[in-house]
Amino acid sequence: MPDTDLSILDELYGIIMDRKENPVENSYVCSLLNHRKGIDKILEKVGEESIETILAVKSGKREEIIYESSDLLFHLMVMFVAEGITLEEITTELQKRRK
Ligand SMILES: N=c1c2ncn([C@@H]3O[C@H](COP(=O)(O)OP(=O)(O)OP(=O)(O)O)[C@@H](O)[C@H]3O)c2ncn1[C@@H]1O[C@H](COP(=O)(O)O)[C@@H](O)[C@H]1O
């Protein structure tokens, strides 16, 4: 079984939460969380990054797959924070599906 260190996901979630609670200037995360379009701006980015990930896989370029998947994961995390969904809720759901 792989034993990957996933602590960066927790750390990143914490940073995004902090941006929500303590807005700062020149923050990309704040620009998404406080966008005039509301959640639609974040959903737009999730959609864009999903398509870019698909195109990266189709291109067969490993580096691009990693880069675009990271963008997608990051924007998904912003979406979780915006919706008040915790990473624990996601991992619990995945655990429940284990056969
Ligand atoms: N992990 C990320 C991260 N990944 C991707 N991105 C941004 O996500 C955007 C990706 O969108 P695109 O590829 O479409 O690029 P773009 O040209 O900016 O697109 P548009 O937004 O202009 O449409 C880029 O602006 C990246 O900089 C990120 N921005 C921030 N983080 C993390 O979030 C933390 C807080 O960031 P700030 O809120 O900016 O301080 C940082 O310390 C990082 O750890």
What is the residue with the minimal CA distance to atom 32 of ligand 1? Answer: 12
Q: Report, in angstroms and rounded to the nearest whole number, the Rg of the chain calculated over CA atoms.
A: 15
Ligand 1 centroid, distance to 4 Cα (angstroms): 24
Q: What share of the chain is helix, strand, coil (3-state, %, to 5)?
A: 75, 0, 25
Q: How far does residue 93's CA lie from ligand 1's centre (Å)?
A: 27
Centre of ligand 1 to C-alpha 26, Å, is 11
Closest by CA to 75, choosing from 25, 23, 39, is: 39
pTM: 0.95
In this predicted structure, what is the pLDDT of residue 35?
94
Task: Kindly report the CATH number that applies to the domain delimited by 7-88.
Answer: 1.10.287.1080
Determine the 3-state secondary structure of 49 from DSSP: helix
Max CA pair span of the chain = 46
pLDDT, tens digit, 9 for 90 and up, residues 46-72: 999 999 999 999 999 999 999 999 999
Prediction ipTM score: 0.92
What is d(CA 36, CA 44) in angstroms, rounded to the nearest whole number?
A: 13
Every domain of the chain and the residues it spans: 7-88
Average pLDDT, the chain: 97
